[in-house]
Structure 1
Amino acid sequence: MTHTSPPDLATLADTMPDGVVRTAELLATGVPGPVIGRRCRPDGPWQRLLPGVVLMSSGEPSRRQRLRAALAYAGEGAAITGLDAAGLDHDIGVRADEAVHVLIPEARRSTTNGYVVVERTARMPALIDRDGLQYAPMPRAVVDAARRERDALRLRALLSGPVRCGACSVAQLCAELDAGNQRGSAAPRAALRAISDGVVSLTEGLARRVARGAAVPPPRWNVPLRDVSGCLLGVVDAWWDDVALAWEVGSHHFRLGLAEAPLCSAQPQLTSAGVLVVRTPPARLRTDPLGVRRDLVQAFHRAADRVRPPVHALPDRAR
């Protein structure tokens, strides 16, 4: 076997995606086993993230490196599911070291190890490749996460986020629940019933009560907004279409584009398009509902006194 020289080892990480590699691949390139062992010692330049999987650096692994290592450990055909696949890690608050949920075909024998939760399934979904990593489709990913979620607030946010941004429908989530294992499905079903009634978060429910007491017309809720070219500007909690007034209560962050797009504030895009946006911290809905109602009335009159901008809301029937 031809041994790889130390200078080659120093640059080898640059050829490995995210610096993550299987031990078998290192051996195949000619790196001797004892060299791998020495470099993965506590004081070495590499580290073992999982059995048979090496990170070719000694620093704290990023979430992406953990995801890639989980796929490398689970083997070919594995798919990341749960919060990471649904793109809801920012919404729910996923820690960098939190477990990675991976699906593998039922015939495979990989097992849960370290931070990786391996689930064997007879319903292996079609894999979706995003930036070199393989994920489960949105409905499956959301339901897989929902079955394991025990916190009611996180569960509601988990299920409502994709529905609100148009990544999947309540019907698709219900169908996925019906098709899969019924263990852990009772709480997600109850949460989906609430979402079906039109309230996608507990904060939004409170906002609706506050809005009903304000001297303004009833708004539409969870409305995607587009500019004259049809480009999605964002999804707002409440929308008064006649005057192009938006209200954000922090029940979710704005989300631009597809569900896998990074979370960010859409207010600059909406403001640039001429939309008047009222932002209300969720806590103020409870502590100062009268003040919030005054803000809404004042903002409504300001919006009505200007020329309405060319911003369009997607009709309910088209959503």
Structure 2
Amino acid sequence: MHHICAPDNVTTIAELRVLGVTNHAITTRCRPSGPWQRVLPGVVLMSAARPTRRQRLRAAITYAGPLSVVSGVDAMRAHDVDVPLPPDVLVLAPATRRLACRSYLTVERTTRPPAPAVRAGLPYAPLARATLDAARRVADRDQLRVLLTSAIGQCTVDELRTELDAGSQRGTAAIRALLTPDLTDDADVVPEEVTLARRLLRDTALPAPRWRAPVHDETGMLLGIPDAWWPEVGLAWDVGPRARHHDPRVWSTAGLTLVRTDRQRLRDAPVAVTDELVRAFAAAAASVHRRAG
């Protein structure tokens, strides 16, 4: 059997057969107690661990074929738009492909397959297309506004309207109603918590952070855009409402520290907040030093 080269440990049964792996060996290794698992029809993850989001994306593209692209929220995040991940993955495939939705994967066949934007080795829809594909799946008007305003800055209202006009008009009335110049104004508003956080930091000895900078894990996947970020020690600080979906456990898995502070504590206990932040910075710096040593 030849050496198996599988990006993100994802491959196909067909590729394994070409490399000399027998059907019996594949079946044996994909048993519940085995070292591999089938994640989609014909697609194998060469690991028994729970698939990462990136591995789910790789498996989706592998299943849907070489002309498919990831769209929706995953593609928005690939363009550094920090919105919460849904449980499912959306992939666009050419209309000529006969593919069913499977497991965590939603396949949308399209007569307008977009040219892919490749990020860290995976093909994604352009941001305007991805945003509108995600928006059509949001029923709540407030959530829809947050989704659209999150994309503004990386793309414009005009670009979104142009993409909206080019696609299917089904289910777009609520989106069209929100795509006005006011949406840009909403996107430019700095939350009160962030303004207060900036003031608090001036009274500490901490170095100046980067404000609203995207942070990625080692595979290139967006972890999020924290309100403040100290890359030299891997410390992030969330205070504003848009980052409430960040999970400290996810950041810890990536070797980073995330501190979350709500509005009430910022206002009522500023000394305690800054003390906590200084301690977190010192601990993160010590951790970096230990790893370097």
**TM bracket, shorter-chain basis:** 0.5 to 0.7
Quote the Cα distance in structure 1 between the aligned partners of 2:13 and 2:106. 21
Is the Cα contact below 8 Å between 1:91 and 1:157 reproduced in 2? no
Among 48, 52, 72, which residue is 2:62 paired with? Answer: 72
> Partner letter of residue 101 of structure 1?
L
Q: Is 1:254–2:212 an aligned residue pair?
A: yes
Match of 1:205 in 2: none
Quote the Cα distance in structure 2 between the aligned partners of 1:162 and 1:255. 15
Can you list the C-alpha shifts for 1:27-56, whole angstroms capped at 9, x where unaligned?
A: 010101111011111221111000000011
Query: 1:284–1:47: structure 2 CA closer, same or farther, 3 Å change rule?
Result: closer
Q: Secondary structure at the match of 2:179?
A: helix
Quote the Cα distance in structure 1 between the aligned partners of 2:240 and 2:124. 35
Quote the Cα distance in structure 2 between the aligned partners of 1:100 and 1:61. 13
Larger Rg: 1
Query: 1:63–1:195: structure 2 CA closer, same or farther, 3 Å change rule?
Result: farther
> Partner letter of residue 146 of structure 1?
A
Tell me the C-alpha RMSD between the 2 structures.
3.9
> Deviation of residue 263 (structure 1)?
2.3
| Structure 2: runs of 5+ lacking an equivalent | 193-197, 201-210, 231-238, 243-260, 271-293
Q: Is 1:37–2:27 an aligned residue pair?
A: yes
Query: 1:195–1:53: structure 2 CA closer, same or farther, 3 Å change rule?
Result: farther
Among 101, 126, 146, which residue is 2:135 paired with? Answer: 146
* Sequence identity (%): 42
Match of 2:225 in 1: 264
Match of 1:168 in 2: 155
Q: Secondary structure at the match of 1:72?
A: helix
Matches within 5 A, 1:212-227: 221-222=188-189
> Deviation of residue 118 (structure 1)?
0.9
Among 166, 170, 180, which residue is 1:193 paired with? Answer: 180
Query: 1:103–1:46: structure 2 CA closer, same or farther, 3 Å change rule?
Result: same
Matches within 5 A, 1:16-55: 16-55=6-45
Is the Cα contact below 8 Å between 1:255 and 1:261 reproduced in 2? no
Quote the Cα distance in structure 2 between the aligned partners of 1:246 and 1:160. 26
Is the Cα contact below 8 Å between 1:255 and 1:262 reproduced in 2? no
| Structure 1: runs of 5+ lacking an equivalent | 201-220, 223-235, 239-244, 248-252, 270-278, 296-319
Quote the Cα distance in structure 1 between the aligned partners of 2:6 and 2:76. 26
> Partner letter of residue 65 of structure 2?
G
> Deviation of residue 267 (structure 1)?
2.9
Query: 1:195–1:72: structure 2 CA closer, same or farther, 3 Å change rule?
Result: farther
Q: Is 1:56–2:42 an aligned residue pair?
A: no
**TM-score where L is the length of structure 2:** 0.66
**TM-score where L is the length of structure 1:** 0.61
Quote the Cα distance in structure 1 between the aligned partners of 2:224 and 2:262. 23
Match of 2:107 in 1: 118
Quote the Cα distance in structure 2 between the aligned partners of 1:284 and 1:61. 32
Quote the Cα distance in structure 1 between the aligned partners of 2:240 and 2:30. 50
Matches within 5 A, 1:276-291: none
> Partner letter of residue 95 of structure 2?
E
